[in-house]
Amino acid sequence: MGKSNEEHVQERNLDREGVMKVQKCKEHWVIGMCIIAFYLLGPVTGKEICYNRLGCFSDDPPWAGIPGRLLTGLPDSPEHMNISFSLYTRETGNNSQVISAINSSTIQNSYFSSRRKTSFIIHGFGSTGKKGWVVEMCLLLLEVENMNCIAVDWKEGAKGTYVTAVNNIRVIGAEVAYFIKTLQKIFKYSPSEIHLIGHSLGAHTAGEAGRRTQGIRRITGLDPAGPFFEGTPPEVRLDPSDARFVDVIHSNAAHLPAVGLGMYNTTGHLDFYPNGGTVMPGCNDLIPQMKRSDFEALIADATVIGGCHHSRSHEFYFESILYPTGFIGYPCETYKSFESGDCFPCPQEGCPMMGHYADRFPAKLKRINQKYFLNTAADPPFTSWRQRVFIKLSGVKRTRGDINLVFHDTEGNTKEYQITSGVLSQDQIYTKYLDVEINPKLIKKVEFLWIKTPFTPLWSRLGADTVNIIHGGDGHRSTFCGHETVTYGAPQLLTPC
Ligand SMILES: *[C@@H]1O[C@H](CO)[C@@H](O)[C@H](O)[C@H]1NC(C)=O
Ligand SMILES: *[C@@H]1O[C@H](CO)[C@@H](O)[C@H](O)[C@H]1NC(C)=O
Ligand SMILES: *[C@@H]1O[C@H](CO)[C@@H](O)[C@H](O)[C@H]1NC(C)=O
Ligand SMILES: *[C@@H]1O[C@H](CO)[C@@H](O)[C@H](O)[C@H]1NC(C)=O
């Protein structure tokens, strides 16, 4: 269609307006203050920019000039951002095809099939869709389902400051919506076949595409970006009205005193808070504890600060494709309450699975803003299965030490968990919630092990009389018995009884 002159005219008008404001400022006796006021308040005076295929974007509230969004402004042009859509299918393998809604014959001549479902994967600030996790996610999705997977790249729009990227996602969201409209037009392709998956700013981009398109089947928000989105009206951010089903994984939620890159508040139908949603085990990078304003100045370095925690959301999603049962989310009010065991086991209606299979949860649309908690392992594949164990001891009446349970899987891997430490007495049942990193289906044997203290008599013998295990996912109980006692450090085999 060619570039419209309109765009240029309006951009020039913007410049002129800006210049006029600064000139007025010069008459003011505190020029510095005035310039600051210009940057804070100047951009919020009802300007608008139009891009002919996508329509107009204004900086009226709530896009700018509301608490939490004082610095935002207008998005760059689509040409400037060079957005591209790379199609992966089982036919393309790693050699994706670049397709474009502007020249729709590129779609018709590609391996895109209107008989399959389609996923769009959208990266966040400072990232790219041409390589890395976006591409790996497409390739893995294709292993489990014959679909069209489209990696959206908006690197040119995502590489400036964080604020420019925040502004730019409105155009990226509009481009994704335009792409979907083109699919509707040329193939009568239904949005109910479409799943948008976005990380960080990409999550809100998916929200914007969903806001502009009726009936998207699903949007998955992977740690939706917090700064400039937390607490804003739904139209600005990802929210449950953007698709028929919206699921969210929070992995670096800003939760005072920690400042994070992600949103803390719920923003979907099902909101998952693995490990509480803010600090992820296995990540060594610091979560800065500082004022939000300092943090926003530093956020240009977002790949460093909190980046590991923030990225866990897409890593969890990736692993959830491979391990459907390994990420069960428990409905609970707070993480503290979940940790203390209040929300165990799953209720009658069951629990949803965090990640790819969240849409299998029958009650997924019953309410919005439902919080689910779980713990994950520190290392890939991050899976764990929450259980509650009860141990009744046999042997010496009373001693001191630690008691542990050791789980063995069918491949010879073991995981050991401490159940209690201190006084050990036959009169007491020892109980603990464990997040066992072995799928209960693959547990080959369970052993009891105890460890002495310097004051334990060397000849003491202890054993587990019975071990009860309640599985959180389905409330199922298994019971194991020990038939002997053992000296410290010697494992006692437990058998089903
Ligand atoms: C824009 O995207 C096209 C297609 O992906 C690519 O060939 C080109 O190099 C990109 N240009 C810039 C400036 O990144
Ligand atoms: C495709 O890429 C993946 C990693 O991104 C690699 O493991 C695999 O070997 C590649 N396959 C082919 C056929 O090149
Ligand atoms: C549109 O894409 C086709 C390839 O599918 C190409 O042959 C054609 O030149 C493109 N048209 C324009 C106007 O870029
Ligand atoms: C959190 O979200 C709920 C529901 O969208 C909203 O009512 C509430 O005001 C939000 N709280 C904050 C602090 O943004």
> Contact at 8 Å (CB) between 122 and 176?
yes
Tell me if 369 CB under 6 Å of ligand 4.
yes
Q: What is the 3-state secondary structure (H, E, C) of 412-437?
A: CCEEEEEEEEEEEECCCEEEEEEEEC
- Mean pLDDT, rounded, for 108-123: 98
- Mean pLDDT, rounded, for 342-355: 97
Q: Which atom of ligand 3 is nearest to the CA of 109?
A: 5
pLDDT band at 28 (very low <50, low <70, confident <90, very high): very low
- E strands, 21-138, are 48-51, 55-58, 84-88, 97-99, 118-122
Q: Which atom of ligand 4 is nearest to the CA of 234?
A: 5
Q: Taking 70 as the threshold, does the pLDDT of residue 45 lie above it?
A: no
Tokens of 14: 């913007």
310 belongs to the catalytic site: yes
- Mean pLDDT, rounded, for 68-85: 92
- Mean pLDDT, rounded, for 280-308: 61
Pairing of strands 270-274, 398-409: unpaired
> Which residue has the least CA distance to atom 9 on ligand 2?
94
Which among 139, 140, 141, 318 is the best mutation to test ligand 2's pocket, defined by most ligand atoms within 8 Å of the CB? 139
pLDDT (tens digit, 9 = 90+) per residue, 352-367? 999 999 999 999 999 9
Q: Taking 50 as the threshold, does the pLDDT of residue 124 lie above it?
A: yes
Any idea what DSSP says for residue 485? -
Q: Which ligand is nearest to the CA of 1?
A: 3
Tell me if 102 CB under 6 Å of ligand 1.
no
Between 396 and 8, the higher pLDDT residue: 396
Q: Please give the C-alpha separations between residue 99 and each of 105, 383, 441, in angstroms, as whole numbers.
A: 9, 36, 43
Any idea what DSSP says for residue 354? S
pLDDT (tens digit, 9 = 90+) per residue, 408-448? 999 999 999 999 999 999 989 999 999 999 999 999 899 99
pTM of the model: 0.88
Q: Taking 60 as the threshold, does the pLDDT of residue 15 lie above it?
A: no
Q: What angle do CA 380, 382, 386 make, to 5 degrees?
A: 155
> Contact at 8 Å (CB) between 201 and 124?
yes
Between 306 and 251, the higher pLDDT residue: 251
Q: Taking 90 as the threshold, does the pLDDT of residue 257 lie above it?
A: no
- Rounded Cα gap, residues 280 and 376, in angstroms: 8
Lowest-pLDDT range, 1-10, 48-57, 252-261?
1-10
Q: Which atom of ligand 2 is nearest to the CA of 93?
A: 13
199's enclosing H/E stretch is: strand 194-199
Tell me if 82 CB under 6 Å of ligand 1.
yes
Q: What angle do CA 228, 266, 176 make, to 5 degrees?
A: 60
The predicted pLDDT at position 286 comes to: 60
Neighbours of 60 (CB within 10 A): 14
> Which residue has the least CA distance to atom 1 on ligand 4?
265
Q: Taking 80 as the threshold, does the pLDDT of residue 310 lie above it?
A: yes
pLDDT (tens digit, 9 = 90+) per residue, 174-193? 999 999 999 999 999 999 99
Q: How far is CA 480 from the centre of its chain?
A: 37
pLDDT band at 305 (very low <50, low <70, confident <90, very high): low
pLDDT (tens digit, 9 = 90+) per residue, 450-479? 999 888 888 889 999 999 999 999 999 999
Backbone phi, then psi, for 383, in 5-degree steps? -70, 150
- Rounded Cα gap, residues 213 and 365, in angstroms: 19
Amino acid at residue number 423: V
Torsion angle of the four alpha carbons 151, 152, 155, 159, in this order, in degrees rounded to the nearest 10? -110
What is the chain's mean pLDDT, rounded?
88
Pairing of strands 84-88, 148-153: antiparallel
pLDDT band at 31 (very low <50, low <70, confident <90, very high): very low
Q: Taking 50 as the threshold, does the pLDDT of residue 26 lie above it?
A: no
pLDDT band at 254 (very low <50, low <70, confident <90, very high): confident
> Which residue has the least CA distance to atom 10 on ligand 1?
82
Tell me if 265 CB under 6 Å of ligand 4.
yes
CA of 100 to the centre of ligand 3 (A): 10
> Contact at 8 Å (CB) between 327 and 456?
no
Closest CA to 230 of 279, 296, 286: 296
- Mean pLDDT, rounded, for 150-166: 94
Which among 82, 95, 98, 155 is the best mutation to test ligand 1's pocket, defined by most ligand atoms within 8 Å of the CB? 82
> pLDDT over 90 for what percent of the chain?
78
The predicted pLDDT at position 37 comes to: 43
Q: Which ligand is nearest to the CA of 112?
A: 3
Total number of residues shown for the chain: 497
Q: Is 468 exposed, middle or buried (0-12, 13-18, 19+ CB in 10 A)?
A: middle
Q: Taking 80 as the threshold, does the pLDDT of residue 33 lie above it?
A: no
Q: Taking 50 as the threshold, does the pLDDT of residue 106 lie above it?
A: yes
342 belongs to the catalytic site: no
Q: Which ligand is nearest to the CA of 143?
A: 2
320 belongs to the catalytic site: no
pLDDT (tens digit, 9 = 90+) per residue, 210-234? 999 999 999 999 999 999 999 999 9
Q: What is the 3-state secondary structure (H, E, C) of 107-132?
A: HHCCCCCCCCCEEEEECCCCCCCCCC
**Edge-first strand listing for the sheet containing 462-471:** 414-425, 398-409, 443-452, 492-496, 477-481, 462-471, 385-395, 429-436
- Mean pLDDT, rounded, for 323-346: 97
Catalytic residue among 223, 242, 271, 359: 223
- Rounded Cα gap, residues 196 and 219, in angstroms: 5
Q: Taking 90 as the threshold, does the pLDDT of residue 24 lie above it?
A: no
The predicted pLDDT at position 44 comes to: 45
Q: Taking 80 as the threshold, does the pLDDT of residue 293 lie above it?
A: no
> pLDDT over 70 for what percent of the chain?
86
Tell me if 132 CB under 6 Å of ligand 2.
no
